[in-house]
Amino acid sequence: MEIKLLLLCLFPLASFFLQCNCHCAASKKKGTAACGIRGMFVFGSSLVDNGNNNFLQNKAKVNYLPYGIDFPYGPSGRYTNGKNVIDLLGEQLQLPGLIPPFADPSTKASKIVHGVNFASGGSGILDDTGSFLGHVYSLTEQINKFEEVTLPELEAELGCNSTHLLSKYLFVVGVGGNDYTFNYFRPSLNGSTILDQGFASNLTNSLSQHLKKLYSLGGRKFVLMSLYPIGCIPMVKSFKPKQKFCLRELNLGVRQFNTQLKSMADAIKEQMPGSNIVIVNQYKIIMDIIKDPSSKGFKDAKRACCDLIPLSEGGNGVSCRKGGNVCGDRNAYVYFDGLHPTEAVNVHITNKAFSSYLKNEVYPINVSQLAKL
């Protein structure tokens, strides 16, 4: 009888500590909120990929120099010279380390406590986007792996269910650009394309279903990265050497998507009570740099910093030549390769995402405000 009474007394105390473990961040690091953002789960393509493609059989790997030339650990599978937006957001949130890629076999146990990155370079919202590159994780596959593998492991590691757990994580989604460059516009980069607004609707409708899925699993705080002006990337010049300015058709296509993305985010909140969605307007942030580079500290907004493999040598207009030349002042360039921004641009995007109060840059609130909700 005495033992039963003792257990009854101890049970509420144990429940309190278990609940605290579910709701509060593990890090006691000075400056971090005791019950702030615990970590991030990341979904998308190359702009937010932390190295998943290193472990997959595809042609979209960047695990070689000059990629990572300015990254503390060298080439890591990040599609830039240094840190990407995810690394920099993690620093702003004062997370204790880098978010590990899901496909790395060592991403287990305590390594997943502060989040996991599922993004895969070359992938898109549509399942067939990037399939010509080999095996890349589509957005569907990324979310399935989160649900079937990572989430059960995280619940076991922290000792609580996702209902309580996931409200303290950011769900960052950066995807859609490849659905245009490597899908919709791919057959016509050497010609012209008649834009179909229904394609943007198809993408945003599909994305909304994915967000609802993540919500059903416990996600409550979402950061969506809008598409940036892909009509201005150096890759366009590779396919259209006579093109002096940004390719209007490509930019018009992504603007249609971005407009519908904002409308979708506003509408879906009614179906996801208790959720908050932030949209980072990468299109405006990068276009502002392209229009007046010097005012933002840049000198070259047209050329790739690295030596691209030309189409005549089997290149794709995107990838840096392995071991090839690279510009001396990476901070002065907007693009590192034919598609992806330099770390300097990623810093600019992240600072805007985290701190801007301009609704045409980050909507309806910034990431810092979202983290405090």
Active-site positions read 46, 337, 340
Is 117 within 8 Å of 50 (Cβ atoms)?
yes
Q: How many CB atoms lie within 10 A of CB 24?
A: 15
Closest to 304 measured CA to CA, from 281, 322, 325? 325
DSSP 222: E
Is 135 within 8 Å of 53 (Cβ atoms)?
no
Is 77 within 8 Å of 152 (Cβ atoms)?
no
Burial letters 242-265, b for 16+ CB under 10 A, else e = eeeebbeebbebbbbbbebbbebb
DSSP 312: G
Q: Backbone dihedral region of 297: left (phi > 0), alpha (psi from -120 to 50 degrees) or beta? A: left
Instruction: Count Cα atoms within 13 angstroms, Cβ side, for 201.
Output: 4
Q: Cα–Cα distance between 67 and 87 in angstroms, integer?
A: 15
Is 172 within 8 Å of 99 (Cβ atoms)?
no
